[in-house]
Homo-oligomer: A and B are copies of this chain.
Amino acid sequence: MMWKVLLVALSMAVNLSSGGFPYVEPTEGDVWPRPQMMQQEETYMLVRPGTFRFSVTGEDCDILQEALQRYTGAMLRSTSYRNRESSWRRSEDFNGYLDTVSVNLMKPCEDYPHQDMDEQYEIKIDSPDQPASGTITAQSIWGILRGLESFSQLLIPDGLEYRVKSTQIQDFPRFSFRGFMLDTARHYLPLRKIFENLDLMAMNKFNVFHWHLVDDQSFPYESAVFPDLSKEGSFSPIHIYTGENISDVVEYARLRGIRVLPEFDTPGHTKAWGPGQPGLLTTCYEDEKPDGTYGPIDPTKEENYDFLRSLLTEVTDRFHDHYIHLGGDEVDFDCWKSNQNITEFMKKMNFTGDYSKLESFYITKLIELVSHLPTENGYLVWQEVFDNGVDVADDTIIHIWKNRTLPEVWKEELKKVTQAGYKTVLSSCWYLNDISYGQDWKKYYECDPQDFDGTEDQKTLVMGGEACMWGEYVDGTNLIPRTWPRASVVAEKLWSSAAHTNSTSAAVPRLEEHRCRLLDRGHRVEPLWPSYCMSDVDL
């Protein structure tokens, strides 16, 4: 068709960002995030939905069986390109039908994904050493999951069948911590949206769901030990997550190779904890009388540490991950300053006037307590804990989030944290809630968590990064379109090699295909530039 030829010609002539006629020609059957090594030929095989199946040739387990079922469904129900005629069938590049793909898991399954999990995998479709056949091979179940996702992305709808180019992939992640954070305190997020978001995370090879469960605005986590917390602190009796809900989320994530990292942010960001646990928060005073408001957790009361120990024992048991996120950001000292008990305690402790010492006192006790939970957890903390000089355990991960518009400042922080020998995760450049008009995805793609002044040893302490979607302006109405495919851009930076992710213009046609793929799979992911997908007419 005439329009097509012209569109392509113009898209090459015109810079996408400068306006004009910015139609983007998508790639076909490319993989997002980009594999470390991928080689494709013009020859291809055809997958017929009626006869295609996976064949398990190595180890097996529930995670694998559920994944095979899921991917058979997801791959073979694309609605895209529905008006397209079958085109390649009779070409001389046709190398036969791909009716089986062998799935070769070489080691027994692990139960839960973890920080050191092996995600490496290999795909061969009609390769020189194994012509006319297909295999996905990995040492671990987590690698198989990543490989299945990649394989599903190789399929190009072609009439009622699917083309797969002759392909070899050897792939592994650049970073072991590839996180995405949701905030369910500023707004409640329905479970259905959390599940959908986990699906999308899996399609983008994220492996950590950081769940910022509670905050000043609400406490939706329903505790069995302290049921009053959500009874008094949630928005309403139906705006909660029960113990069963939590288990369902952890299981849903586990089956997709995603860890669930709960955050119970203290001592600040806790206003909604107060009503359900009287005495926990600091009473604020004005003119020597309580003014009816409350501040951070009162660090002077020993019973508050007992409470935290009991609560976190339950939490770490429910969430299964070795790590828990303890927060520690943005502690407001005003209320502590107004409270006479606090002042006296600080005098006794020789802290007088230095409230960050009081904060450190609290965090130190909290960390000590967490280290001695039955599950012996490790933890993440927001960067303030490091900035304040708190003595944390060796395997602590410092979560850098500040100075979002000043790269030189967070680069300096990366340098300091790793100089001190701590592991770290970067979020400063990936606050997806900071929306703006235009192609902000480019700035996410241009951020590299190892791009700071430090030794090789320091660089290896960077475990990865995390995209954050804070919830002040986000609930079930806009979570999915606002997050995706903007988070996909971060996902590729965290999985793919630095050398493969240094050009936004090279990413454009691949991102165009990926966005349409996510849409085809039924997710309302928003556009990144003027364009179209065949399935957007059905929205």
- A476 interface residue, CB < 8 Å from B? yes
Could you say which residues of chain B place their CB within 8 Å of the CB of A231?
1, 3
B473/A526 in contact, CB under 8 A: yes
A186 at the interface (CB under 8 A from B): yes
- Among A99-107, A119-127, A529-537, the stretch that binds chain B is A529-537
Asked if A190 is at the interface of the complex by the 8 Å CB criterion, the answer is yes
Cα–Cα distance between A137 and B360 once the two chains are bound (Å): 68
For the complex, give the distance between the alpha carbons of A275 and B6 in Å: 8
A434 surroundings in chain B (CB, below 8 A): 437
- Closest residue to A523 on the B side, CB-wise? B477
Q: Return the chain B residue nearest A518 by Cβ.
A: B477
Number of copies: 2
Q: A21-B217, A233-B3, A271-B21 are in contact. Are A239 and B532 (CB under 8 A)?
A: yes
Q: Please, which residue of chain B has its CB at the minimum distance from the CB of A22?
A: B217
Question: A272 to chain B: which residues have CB within 8 Å?
Answer: 3, 21
Interface string of A1-26 (1 = CB under 8 A from B): 11100100110010000011111000
Q: Mark A430-448, 1 if CB is under 8 A from B, else 0.
A: 0001111110000000000
State whether B238 touches A534 (Cβ < 8 A).
yes
Give CA–CA (A476, B238) in the complex, Å: 30
Most buried by B among A186, A293, A435, A527: A527
A538 at the interface (CB under 8 A from B): yes
**With the chains together, A475 CA to B476 CA distance in Å?**
18
Interface: A474 (CB within 8 A): yes
Q: Which residue of B lies closest to A434 (CB)?
A: B437
CA distance A397 to B480 in the complex (A): 39
Residues of B within 8 A of A20 (CB): 216, 271
User: What's the dominant secondary structure at chain A's contact region?
Assistant: loop
Q: Are B538 and A1 in contact (CB under 8 A)?
A: no
Neighbouring B residues of A2 by C-beta, 8 Å:
232, 275
B187 touches A531 (CB 8 A): yes
Separation of A473 and B21 alpha carbons in the complex (Å): 14
Q: Which residue of B lies closest to A271 (CB)?
A: B21
Bound complex: CA of A329 vs CA of B474, how far in Å?
A: 35
Given A232-B1, A292-B13, A472-B530, decide whether A188 and B537 contact each other with a Cβ distance below 8 A.
yes
Complex interface: chain B residues within 8 A of A216 (CB):
19-21
A524 contacts the other chain (CB 8 A): yes
Do B6 and A532 have beta carbons less than 8 Å apart?
no
Q: Are A537 and B433 in contact (CB under 8 A)?
A: no
Contact B437 A474 (CB under 8 A): no
Contact residue among B23, B188, B529 (Cβ-Cβ distance under 8 Å from A473): B529
Q: Does A235 contact B (CB under 8 A)?
A: yes
B232→A539 contact, CB < 8 A: no
- A357 beta carbon closer than 8 Å to chain B: no
- A192 (CB) vs chain B CBs: closest residue: B539
**B539→A190 contact, CB < 8 A:** yes
Q: Is A193 among interface residues, defined by CB-CB distance under 8 A?
A: yes
A478 interface residue, CB < 8 Å from B? Answer: yes
Q: Which residues of B contact A271 (CB under 8 A)?
A: 10, 20-21
Query: A3 and B275: CB pair below 8 A?
Result: yes
Residues on A lying within 8 angstroms of B by beta carbon are 1-3, 6, 9-10, 13, 19-23, 83, 186-188, 190, 192-193, 216-218, 231-239, 271-272, 274-275, 292-293, 433-438, 471-478, 480-482, 519, 524-532, 534, 536-539
Q: Other CB < 8 Å A-B pairs besides A192-B539, A471-B530, A475-B539, 7 of them?
A: A1-B231, A2-B232, A3-B272, A83-B238, A218-B532, A473-B527, A477-B481
